C-alpha cells in the first residue's frame, strides 16, 4: 500500500503529514527548515491531483482549524500503536474543542484510575498531533505538562482554541 507524504506550513511550524488509503498515519511537527509556500509543501513525489484524498482532506481541515472555522476533524485515521495507546487516543478525540482533561480524567475513562503514567506515555506517543488532541491533556492540578511538539506549541494551541470559543485568549499560568 502506497504511503503518501506532504508538508504543511502552520502558524506554529512545519508539519509532516503521512497517510495511505486507510487513513492518516501521522501528523508531526518537524524542525527542519522548509522554505517554500503556500501552506501545502510538496515532497518530491507529491502531486495534489494524484495524492491520497486523505492527505488533501487533512490539509484542508488543518487550514480550517487554523482559521478557527473547524472545531472537529472528520478524517479517517490509521495511526500505529498498541491497543492501550489506541484506547487512550480514542478518549482524546472526545475532548471538546477549547476544553481540557487531566491525565487522571483519561485514566478514569479507560477504567483504571491508577493508569496516570501509562496514559501520559500513550499521550506522548500520539502520532497524530492536533487531530488527536493530546494538547488538550493537562496535569492533574491544572498545569501544562508535556507536549512532544514543544510546550510553547501546546500553549499556543490551547489559546487558539479558547480564543475561538471565548473571543479572547486565556491566561494559562
Q: How far apart are CA 38 and CA 34, in angstroms?
A: 11
Q: What is the DSSP letter of 162?
A: H
Cβ-Cβ contacts under 8 Å for 163 (sequence gap 6 or more) = 68, 169
- Rg over alpha carbons for the chain, rounded to the nearest Å, is 16
Active site residue 134: yes
Exactly one of 75, 134, 157, 158 is catalytic; name it.
Answer: 134
Pick from 117, 100, 97, 119: nearest CA to 109: 119
Q: How far apart are CA 60 and CA 55, in angstroms?
A: 9
Q: Is the dihedral of CA 63, 69, 71, 73 positive or negative?
A: negative
Q: How far apart are CA 135 and CA 100, in angstroms?
A: 8
Given its phi and psi angles, is residue 8 left (phi above 0), alpha (psi -120 to 50 degrees) or beta?
beta
* Active site positions, annotated: 134
Amino acid at each position: 500500500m502506497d504511503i503518501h507524504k506532504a508538508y504543511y506550513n502552520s502558524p506554529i511550524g512545519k508539519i509532516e503529514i503521512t497517510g495511505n488509503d486507510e487513513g492518516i498515519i501521522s501528523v508531526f511537527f518537524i524542525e527542519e527548515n522548509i522554505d517554500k509556500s503556500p501552506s501545502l509543501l510538496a515532497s518530491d513525489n507529491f502531486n495534489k491531483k494524484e495524492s491520497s484524498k486523505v492527505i488533501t482532506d487533512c490539509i484542508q481541515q488543518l487550514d480550517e482549524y487554523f482559521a478557527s472555522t473547524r472545531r472537529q476533524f472528520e478524517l479517517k485515521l490509521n495511526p500505529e500503536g498498541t491497543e492501550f495507546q489506541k484506547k487512550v487516543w480514542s478518549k482524546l478525540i472526545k475532548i471538546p474543542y477549547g476544553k481540557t482533561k487531566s491525565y487522571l480524567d483519561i485514566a478514569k475513562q479507560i477504567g483504571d484510575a491508577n493508569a496516570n503514567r501509562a496514559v501520559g506515555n500513550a499521550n506522548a506517543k500520539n502520532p497524530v498531533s492536533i487531530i488527536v488532541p493530546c494538547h488538550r491533556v493537562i496535569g492533574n492540578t491544572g498545569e501544562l505538562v508535556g507536549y512532544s511538539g514543544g510546550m510553547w506549541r501546546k500553549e499556543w494551541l490551547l489559546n487558539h482554541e479558547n480564543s475561538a470559543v471565548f473571543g479572547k485568549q486565556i491566561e494559562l499560568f
